[in-house]
Chains A and B, each alone.
Chain A
């Protein structure tokens, strides 16, 4: 058993990996289905009232997937990552780890495994949404989908890094997850200022719809900021956890 294997075992034995895969896969399937059958659904429940709905399109299918998957998915990622990164929440286990390994040794596998699990789950969900859309409606723009998926993956890496930073501020798992979600909400609110929005990690989320619709790539700024914030969060979490007494 190594610290790396420990993290993989944790994800599978606690079934957390299936929560991540399940959330993204479910919405990956529902996005194209909903988009394809939305007119029929609305007509069936409309009770004779005519409601205008946009015609099914690959862009609508992917937007439906992302809108739902990210809301629930980020919550799931924050809680799953918090359960691994807030290792001081169980003081006896923290003593076991801290007296045998350095903080970077402890945190590295927790960061990497949770980042990979989040990104792989998202990629699986996106692939299901893409294939579903291609079968039911039409194929979304492949280049845009790939680029948008890469940008969103960087955003999810940032979410995990932020969770690690939150774990260095508080010890509890729910506290860590709630701080993470709270900071993401605050970033979203700050994004209401147009001049700032273009530089925030949250604008990577907005890139998804635009790139799939064929928009040009104009995201170097938020990409750089997100990478810098992720690295800063990781470095700060290591420094703070090294200073923290067990």
Chain B
């Protein structure tokens, strides 16, 4: 396994309105050394932006503000415009994906996936961030 020490201490917001999914992702990602911040809605994600996260892993279909809208709001914010955003959604049509990327997401992962796929994407994003 490649060296993942650089993950340690990085902040990641994990947003999903389904408790089981959110909790599971938090637990597994915390094990890699990441600091996981939980959010059950778009609103909570916006609120957590003060924490200056390094990455956002977010469901699309959420109450109040959905993933698309939240992405757009983050991109429009001055400080948060460059934070990588990975959308993770049960919506899997090409139009949904296009919509997400158009909103400003860096990546769009369709459920169901193994944790390994998610971890790979997270690592890759944070790694490239580090290099740049």
A interacts with B: no
Residues of A within 8 A of B (CB): none
